[in-house]
């Protein structure tokens, strides 16, 4: 079973996950024997981008909390500029993640078709 917990920087860690299928009487191959290097790379990139988005969302929340209690106008201005930068990063990473997910799904479909044809 897979459990996900968030670390202090907002990254997702998978705990207790086995990367291989059990090889039983049916001689089911392991996941690593089925997945192509391209699929593994694509999945790693999606996970990396998703972890960054989680981190970025946490930073935005923290900055908004700081802004709401900020009495120094200079620091408030700095936080606003920081939030603008975070917003731009969030938007660009969001678009990139969507494209990467679509590419990963295509690679996964190819892998499934190849597996089923054997």
Backbone angles phi, psi at 15, to 5 degrees: -115, 130
Helices 73-117, 37-68: inter-axial angle, 10-degree rounding: 160
Indicate whether 16 pLDDT > 60: no
Indicate whether 24 pLDDT > 60: no
Q: Please give the pLDDT value at position 94.
A: 79
Euclidean distance between CA atoms 28 and 38, whole angstroms:
21
Tokens 């993640």, located at residue: 97
Using one digit for the tens of pLDDT, what is the confidence trace for 32-74?
567 888 889 889 999 998 999 999 999 999 999 999 998 999 9
Residues 6+ apart with CB under 8 A from 100: 42, 45, 46, 49
Using one digit for the tens of pLDDT, what is the confidence trace for 80-103?
999 999 988 888 887 778 888 988
Backbone angles phi, psi at 10, to 5 degrees: 85, 5
State the Cα angle at 74 between 69 and 80, rounded to 5°: 65
Indicate whether 23 pLDDT > 60: no
Tokens 């996950």, located at residue: 17
Q: Please give the pLDDT value at position 59.
A: 93
State the Cα angle at 86 between 74 and 63, rounded to 5°: 50
């Amino acid at each position: 079973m897979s459990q996900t917990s968030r670390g202090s920087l907002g990254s997702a860690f998978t705990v207790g996950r086995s990367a291989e299928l059990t090889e039983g009487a049916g001689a089911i191959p392991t996941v690593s024997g089925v997945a192509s290097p391209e699929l593994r790379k694509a999945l790693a990139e999606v996970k990396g981008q998703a972890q960054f988005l989680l981190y970025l969302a946490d930073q935005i929340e923290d900055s908004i909390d700081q802004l709401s209690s900020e009495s120094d106008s200079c620091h408030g201005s700095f936080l606003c500029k920081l939030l603008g930068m975070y917003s731009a990063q969030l938007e660009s990473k969001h678009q990139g993640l969507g494209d990467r997910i679509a590419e990963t799904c295509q690679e996964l479909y190819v892998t499934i078709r190849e597996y089923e044809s054997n």
